[in-house]
C-alpha cells in the first residue's frame, strides 16, 4: 500500500514538473515573439523616416499609421510608441541628432505615469527600440500632452499652444487616441528640418494637426498646403 502511494506521488511530482517546464518555455516563447513584433514595427518606422530625411527632395511629406495592437500567436497586446530625440557631441566638436523609436507595453507606460519609487519616478522598460543619426534638425510635436491614458485637448477653436517636445507618445488605445505619424522634410537656406507629428488619422485629424503645427513652425508665413512649405 505504501509503495502504491509513493508511486502515485512520484507520478504527480513528475507531471507537475513537466507542466512547469512547458509553461516556462511557453511564456519565454511568448516574450520572444512580443519583442520580435515590436522590433519589426520600430524598424519599419525608422526605415521610412530615415529614407525620407535622406531623400534628395527639398520638401516632402509622408505618414505612417501604426496598428491598434500587436498580434502574437493568436492573441494580442496593447503598446505605446515613444518618439524621442537626442543630440550627441562628436569627437571633432560637431553635433549630430538622433531620432529614436521605442515601444513599451501599455501597462508599463501607465505605471510610469502613476507610480514612483524612493529614488524618484518609475522608468518604464522598453521591449524594442530603433534609431538613426542625422544632421537634420529634428522637431517633435503632438497636439495635447499625454498623461498615460489619454491626451489633454486644446480649445475647440485651436487657439491652444502646441509646444515642441523632446519626446512624444503615440497611444492607439488612449481615450482620445493617436495612431499615426506625419513626417515632413524641409530644406530652407541649405538647412534641413525634419518634423514628426503624432496625430489621429481618423476624421482628418492629421491634416488639421499638421496645418496647426505648420503655422507655428513658420510664424513668418509663406506656408504651403497643410501649414508647411509643401
Domain count, the chain: 1
The C-alpha atoms of residue 143 and residue 154 are separated, in whole angstroms, by 7
Neighbours of 18 (CB within 10 A): 10
Using DSSP's 3-state secondary structure scheme, residue 162 falls into coil
Spell out the per-residue pLDDT of the chain, length 230, in tens: 545 454 545 555 545 545 444 444 444 446 677 889 999 999 999 999 999 999 998 999 999 999 999 887 677 889 999 999 999 988 787 889 999 999 999 999 999 888 765 556 788 999 999 999 999 999 999 998 899 889 987 644 455 678 899 999 999 999 889 999 999 999 988 899 999 999 999 878 899 999 989 888 876 555 555 578 88
pLDDT of residue 156: 43
Comparing C-alpha atoms, which of 125, 83, 75 is closest to residue 104?
Answer: 125
pLDDT of residue 19: 46
The C-alpha atoms of residue 189 and residue 191 are separated, in whole angstroms, by 6
Q: Is 144 exposed, middle or buried (0-12, 13-18, 19+ CB in 10 A)?
A: middle
| pTM tops 0.95 | no
Range of the domain at 183: 2-227
**With contact defined as beta carbons under 8 Å apart, do 130 and 46 qualify?**
yes
pLDDT of residue 114: 85
Runs of H (alpha helix) within 54-197: 106-114
Amino acid at each position: 500500500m505504501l509503495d502504491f502511494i509513493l508511486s502515485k506521488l512520484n507520478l504527480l511530482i513528475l507531471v507537475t514538473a513537466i507542466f512547469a517546464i512547458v509553461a516556462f518555455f511557453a511564456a519565454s516563447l511568448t516574450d520572444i515573439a512580443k519583442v520580435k513584433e515590436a522590433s519589426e514595427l520600430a524598424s519599419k518606422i525608422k526605415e521610412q523616416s530615415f529614407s525620407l530625411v535622406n531623400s534628395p527632395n527639398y520638401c516632402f511629406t509622408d505618414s505612417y499609421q501604426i496598428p491598434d495592437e500587436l498580434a502574437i500567436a493568436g492573441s494580442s497586446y496593447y503598446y505605446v510608441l515613444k518618439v524621442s530625440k537626442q543630440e550627441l557631441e562628436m569627437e571633432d566638436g560637431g553635433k549630430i541628432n538622433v531620432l529614436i523609436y521605442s515601444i513599451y507595453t501599455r501597462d508599463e507606460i501607465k505605471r510610469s505615469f502613476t507610480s514612483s519609487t524612493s529614488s524618484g519616478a518609475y522608468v518604464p522598460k522598453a521591449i524594442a527600440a530603433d534609431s538613426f543619426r542625422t544632421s537634420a534638425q529634428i522637431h517633435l510635436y503632438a497636439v495635447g500632452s499625454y498623461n498615460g491614458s489619454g491626451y489633454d485637448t486644446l480649445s475647440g477653436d485651436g487657439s491652444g499652444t502646441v509646444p515642441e517636445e523632446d519626446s512624444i507618445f503615440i497611444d492607439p488605445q488612449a481615450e482620445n487616441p493617436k495612431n499615426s505619424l506625419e513626417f515632413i522634410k524641409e530644406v530652407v537656406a541649405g538647412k534641413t528640418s525634419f518634423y514628426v507629428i503624432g496625430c489621429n488619422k481618423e476624421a482628418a485629424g492629421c491634416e488639421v494637426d499638421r496645418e496647426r503645427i505648420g503655422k507655428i513652425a513658420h510664424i513668418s508665413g509663406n506656408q504651403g498646403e497643410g501649414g508647411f512649405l509643401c
